[in-house]
Amino acid sequence: MSRDKHSTGNAAWDLDTQLIHGWSEPDSAGAIVPPIHPASTFVRQQIDDDAPFRYARGSNPTRNALEDLLAGLEHGVAASAFASGMAAVNAALQLLSAGDHAIVGYDCYLTTYDIFANDLPRFGIESDLVDLSDIEAVQAAIKSNTRLIWIETPTNPLLDIIDLAAIAEIAKGIGAISVVDNTFASPYCQNPIDLGIDLVVHSTTKYLGGHSDLVGGAVIANSEALAARIADRQYNLGAVPSPFDCWLLMRGIRTLGVRMRQHIANAQAIAEWLQADPRVLRALYPGLPDHPGHALARDQMPGGFSGMVSFEVAGGSAKARDVSERTSIFQLATSLGGVESLIYPPTAWLETEPELMAEIPGSPWAQHPGLLRLSVGIEATADLINDLDQALG
């Protein structure tokens, strides 16, 4: 699949070039990589000058370089970096006020659920869980006080595909903010802002970092006004990444293109193999032609279908746990998007978080007790398939 070019400076660069060169020009020393500025405070010539750097919670040269790069990758006007993906999520949700209503995709990250289910109601903010792939259901959920629509696509862990342009149009029509958690896709595969979305959120821990060695988050805005509101939240909340983590993240981003191509190739091969295996009830991957969202994904994910694959086995949660504990290359671990392959049975949440799961009406995980989620890494394809083959027994 081809990618549109994105203009940076006076040159129209392809994404792969921007990943490497999009952070800034070399510094005065001619460094080919961004320098790390560990300073917590910066000298000013006078108290009321307009110095760009004063205190590191507000801005830091290393973090600014990262934020410029992230804004460019997501085609936004500005980005704010955070110390974790959930810090970024919370910053975006602080745009809501008491009395507001939010519409949330019913299949999304569990901690995001927890905030909507347990935290926001304490501040007078209500929400409804909706299957966002059903546009009529989205329209039916709208209230006079709906101020935000929260989206993941592909969703976690069922990998549904949501029509971003359609949701963005609905949000604009009611004066609500549309937010996409783009962690699963990464800016390599899709750019929600191009489809009318207002804010893009990332756990940069995942594909952007790519090596399971940092924790971070980001929010990218489509307008100066929203960018300023998020920057205000960044400053007041104080959950900013360290200069070293910013540098490490930029280092990871440099190889996003080559990594994603291998993630995608491996995921496609594994999904096709799983789909053909009689021990598997169903395989879920947007790259499979019979996936309900395949055609839409081809249109809105021009870079590919990413590296997340889910599948369901007979035998329910017990069998899913057994398979997840029998793999040797696929490591049983939380998280995703690293160079190594990971496996996790989402149904374990039914047992480890029973009170929270009980609060989620029609939990998608409860409907599919034999579900397993794969974060497909960049190892040899045949080795990964052989590992799953022996684990399925």
Start-end of CATH 3.40.640.10 domains in the chain:
6-253
Q: Give which of 309, 319, 332 is closest to 370, Cα–Cα.
A: 319
Per-residue model confidence (pLDDT) at position 50:
81
Q: Tell me which of 100, 107, 181, 245 is the catalytic residue.
A: 181
Q: Tell me which of 3, 57, 279, 326 is the catalytic residue.
A: 57
Per-residue model confidence (pLDDT) at position 213:
97
Does 3.40.640.10 match the CATH number of domain 6-253? yes
Instruction: Give me 256's structure tokens.
Output: 């996003």
Instruction: Give me 295's structure tokens.
Output: 């055609």
Q: What is the distance between the alpha carbons of residues 243 and 60, in angstroms, rounded to a whole number? A: 7
Per-residue model confidence (pLDDT) at position 359:
61
Beta bridge partners of 158: none
Relative orientation angle of helices 243-253 and 61-73, to the nearest 10 degrees: 30
Amino acid letter at 299?
Answer: D
- Quick check: 193 and 200 in contact, CB under 8 A? yes
Residue 181 annotated as catalytic:
yes
Per-residue model confidence (pLDDT) at position 123:
97
Q: Tell me which of 106, 113, 163, 206 is the catalytic residue.
A: 206
Instruction: Give the torsion sign (CA, 135, 79, 309, 318).
Output: negative
Instruction: Give the torsion sign (CA, 298, 299, 302, 306).
Output: negative
Q: What is the distance between the alpha carbons of residues 41 and 33, in angstroms, rounded to a whole number? A: 23
DSSP letter at 94 equals T
Q: Tell me which of 100, 107, 109, 285 is the catalytic residue.
A: 109
Residue 109 annotated as catalytic:
yes
Start-end of CATH 3.90.1150.10 domains in the chain:
257-392
Per-residue model confidence (pLDDT) at position 12:
76
Per-residue pLDDT of the chain (393 residues; tens, 9 = 90+): 333 433 344 347 899 999 998 877 657 778 888 899 999 999 988 888 888 888 999 999 999 999 999 999 999 999 999 999 999 999 999 999 999 999 999 898 989 988 998 899 999 999 999 999 999 999 999 999 999 999 999 999 999 999 999 999 999 999 999 999 999 999 999 999 999 999 999 999 999 999 999 999 999 999 999 999 999 999 999 999 999 999 999 999 999 999 999 999 999 999 999 999 999 999 999 999 999 999 999 999 999 999 999 999 999 889 999 999 999 999 999 999 999 999 999 877 767 777 766 666 556 666 788 999 999 999 999 999 999 999 999
Per-residue model confidence (pLDDT) at position 11:
47
Tokens 């052989």 belong to residue: 386
CATH class, domain 257-392, is alpha beta
Residue 387 annotated as catalytic:
no
